[in-house]
Structure 1
Amino acid sequence: MKLKRYAAPAVIAITAALALSACASNEGGAPAAGGSSDAAASTLTGTLTGIGSSAQGSAQEAWIAAFQTANPDVTVNYDPQGSGAGRESFISGASAFAGSDSALNDDELAGSFASCAPDTKAIDLPVYISPIAVVFNVEGVKDLNLDATTIANIFSGKITTWNDPAIAALNADATLPSAPITAVHRSDDSGTTKNFTDYLGKVAPEAWAEKAADAFPFQSGEGAQGTSGVIQAVTNGVNTIGYADASKAGDLGVAKIKVGDEFVEYTAEGAAAVVEESPLVEGREANDLAVALDRSTTDPSHYPLVLVSYAIACQEYADAAQADLVKAYIGYIASEEGQQVAADAAGAAPLSADLSSKVAAAIETIK
């Protein structure tokens, strides 16, 4: 089925001040979630905690601010510890939902979920589509072209200097320094890493034989915690390169990647085009909407280094009050308004009309 474009362990201790708690963000005039512009009409109350994807960080800040303005008696806390930590926290019951750049795997789905009603499962709901940027900070280099094979050899440690013939062949007009490469990867379990390694494995299998995984598979290079850690390490280092959600690239250089016969910059539209042509994962429950990304495109209008990030929630909650909050909040972030907020705040690509309708239908079944 193709997607049409655009229309458990011990409970993890939560830090006293969750990093993206929006206690002070009830400002502005965002319309109420659910379509009403009258915030006083909201009857929702309580506190909702989510943990997970740091790639979702900028979008979550904006979503929380708008949702709390529309629902002033609700506090939403989101801590961007990373996708792996988010899934683990949700499974253990430390959070009511998780943000994750990779869907629940088969082993996780086969287990139990502490916040869910007995004998019920969790579902993956796509809410955030974004390019992954290959960011760099190399002395004297403003523009950089890289193909998947060269990226794979840099991050596996096979290419160790910036003037390596493989890099030079792709950048005839650049003056590349004869300096060591510091390749920065995520040190934590990361859905961004899983998407990055999935891209390399599918597009350059001769250079990257490792399976896609949340944990970076090599000891080479430098590890950094979270998206912000990678960006800081690349920014503050010398002759560095890394990968991160494009919303966090800032003033760093961003490499063009080779798609077909051309080198292309990332765009939200190019990322969305890949998701448009990707099927849902087979064999899952009807309301579990994990996407099997097809990165094999040679169309330069597409950007195959893309992630789909999920809100992971219970199909049925043990606590009905939490179910109401989760249903309302995820319903908002997946709505047309919520998707526009993410586009404005983080450069995300809105869900396609087809996928949006599927997500909305799945959210309606949460209880």
Structure 2
Amino acid sequence: MRHESTSPVRRNARPILTASLAVVALGLTVSACGAANETQLTSDHGAGVSGTLNGAGSSAQQAAQEAWRASFQEANPSATVNYNPSGSGAGREQFLSGGSDFAGSDAALDPAAGEVAAAKKRCGADAIEVPDYVSPIAIVYNLPGVAHLRLDAKTLAGIFAGRITRWNDPAIAALNSGTLPSTAITPVHRSDSSGTTDNFTDYLHAASGGVWQAAPSGDWPLRSGEGASGTSGMVAAVKAGKGTIAYVDESQAGGLSVASIRVGKQYVAPSAAGAAKALSVSPLESGRPASDLAVQVDRTTTAPGAYPLMLTSYLIACPTYPAARADLVRSYLAHVVSSEGQRQAAQAAGSAPLPAKLQKKAAALIDSIASS
């Protein structure tokens, strides 16, 4: 496996690319739904919606999107939704360029990178951005003979910055009982622009006590470790390499060994309940439009049971669409954030349902999508 030097790469966090990406259908043929709390998934007007809806983005959402597809299709067989799990950065890029009807993203639109303004330009008004998927990020590793592993943010930052290079390094040994092998560590990161990377680097930046110097970014900010494309690529790289370690959505950990991270004085394994607890103690980001429910995750919380290494994934859409498409977008997104949709995602992907207060706000914003 190729290793690179650890010098920083100069780049803006999640830069906007203007090239339009082709919509790649995943074969997710789906149908439409109704208001957020209904179990009968029909449009606002009591009849099934129809047409084709194109979305792209978060690969972490893939299993949940497939579950939402199944129930949506059952209610509205004349509707088709294509969702390409191309990665959060590509999904935002495609939405901003007008190449898709909605995006799924594990990182909120970045005002500093001009994404909020670009979304407003694309939509003609402030975009709607609401949480739809809450999931822990698992630290997965391949180290035969080590079934249990404890890590803290400082040690993780040292590993992924390329400063801690052996599994028996004193910093790791101090957190774990028993003998660790001298196997070389190969940290694996996403090679594509990724909301999971954005959340992981945000955690390292906030919780490592200054060990991680790079700013949070959806693009891997250092020349360190080995790159892999997509969540599936990360999992495959860890499975294939002894001594590897990576960060992936917990729902797609693929049976790999999973570390516990230090939260306060406790070591906590990733769980949906832990991610939900971390989200519940985190405020909304200030300075955003009223239609934007981006959350400022508290990465340093010591709340009992919280797991702050987590992602809140978003749906990004316009507030208006042409008449027939407005019904389709509103109906599908309403199902995603509905109680039933959240239950389906929890069953399919192990995600945490949105907290009731946040779910209510998200449903109200989606319900406001109107015909242009």
Deviation at 1:196, TM superposition (A): 0.4
Q: Give the structure 2 partner of residue 205 of structure 1.
A: 209
8 A contact 1:234–1:242 mirrored in 2: yes
Separation (CA, whole Å) in 1 of partners of 2:276 and 2:187: 27
Give 1:69-218 correspondences, 5 Å limit.
Answer: 69-106=74-111, 107-112=114-119, 116=123, 119-173=124-178, 175-218=179-222
Are 1:283 and 2:287 an aligned pair?
yes
Which residue does 2:315 correspond to in 1?
311
What is the rounded CA distance, in whole Å, between the counterparts of 1:124 and 1:32 in structure 2?
A: 19
Contact 1:184–1:224 (Cα < 8 Å) also in 2: yes
Rounded to whole Å, the distance in 1 between the matches of 2:76 and 2:305 is 40
Kindly indicate whether the alpha-carbon contact (under 8 Å) linking 1:48 and 1:326 is maintained by their aligned counterparts in 2: yes
Deviation at 1:250? Answer: 2.4
Report the Cα distance in structure 2 between the residues aligned to 1:72 and 1:178, rounded to whole angstroms.
57
After TM superposition, give the deviation of residue 138 of structure 1 in Å. 0.7
- Among residues 17, 21, 40, which one is paired with 1:12 in the alignment? 21
CA distance in 1, matches of 2:19, 2:120: 12
User: In structure 2, what is the Cα distance between the partners aligned to 1:39 and 1:214?
Assistant: 36
Question: What is the aligned length?
Answer: 348
Q: Secondary structure at the match of 1:111?
A: helix
Measure the CA separation in 2 of the matches of 1:155 and 1:104.
25
Which residue of 1 is the match for residue 342 of structure 2? 339
Task: Give secondary structure in 1 for the equivalent of 2:174.
Answer: helix
Distance verdict in 2 for CA 1:249–1:49, change over 3 Å: same
Deviation at 1:114, TM superposition (A): 7.3
- Hey, what does 1:364 align to over in structure 2? 367
State the alpha-carbon separation in 2 of the partners of residues 233 and 70 from structure 1: 39
Whole-Å Cα distance in 1 between the matches of residues 169 and 119 of structure 2? 49
Contact 1:92–1:113 under 8 Å retained in 2: no
Would you say the 8 A contact 1:96–1:115 is kept in 2?
Answer: no
Q: 2:356 aligns with which of 353, 358, 366?
A: 353
Question: Post-superposition shift, 1:192?
Answer: 0.5
Provide structure 2 residue ranges, at least 5 long, that are not aligned to the other structure. Answer: 1-16
Whether contact under 8 Å (2:42, 2:48) holds in the other structure is: no
- AA in 1 matched with 2:348: A
* Cα drift, residue 287 of structure 1: 1.7
- Give the corresponding residue for 1:258: 262
Name the stretch that deviates more: 207-216 or 291-300: 291-300
Amino acid at match of 1:324: D
Deviation at 1:214, TM superposition (A): 0.4
Match of 1:65 in 2: 70
Q: Secondary structure at the match of 1:170?
A: coil
Q: Gaps spanning 5+ residues in structure 1: where? A: 1-7
Post-superposition offset of 1:322: 2.0
Counterpart Cα distance in 2 of 1:221 and 1:327: 42
Q: Residue type of the partner of 1:14?
A: V
Residues 32, 69 of structure 1: 8 Å contact kept = no
Distance in 2 of aligned mates of 1:211 and 1:10 = 25
For the Cα contact (< 8 Å) 1:327–1:364, is it kept in 2? Answer: yes
Q: Percent identity among equivalent residues?
A: 53
Distance 2:41 2:202 in 1: 45
Q: Give 1:54's aligned amino acid.
A: S
User: Residues 71 and 141 of structure 1: is their aligned pair in 2 closer, same or farther, counting only changes over 3 Å?
Assistant: same
Instruction: Please state whether the residue corresponding to 1:310 is helix, strand or coil.
Output: strand
Partner of 2:249: 245
The answer to whether the Cα contact below 8 Å between 1:39 and 1:69 also exists between their aligned partners in 2 is no
Q: Is the 8 A contact 1:128 1:310 kept in 2?
A: yes
Q: CA deviation at 1:261?
A: 1.0
Per-residue deviation, 1:11: 2.0
Conserved? CA contact 2:48–2:75, under 8 Å: no
Distance in 1, Cα, partners of 2:121 & 2:102:
11
Pairwise CA distance, 1:320 = 2.5
Residue identity in the other structure for 2:84: D
- The yes-or-no answer on 1:321 pairing with 2:330 is no
- CA deviation profile, 1:11-37 (whole Å, cap 9, x unmatched): 21233xx23x223x78xxxx9644354
* Alignment-mate amino acid for residue 67 of structure 2: A
Report how far residue 178 of structure 1 moved.
1.0
1:92–1:114 CA contact under 8 A, matched in 2: no
Aligned to 2:8: none
Conserved? CA contact 2:126–2:289, under 8 Å? no
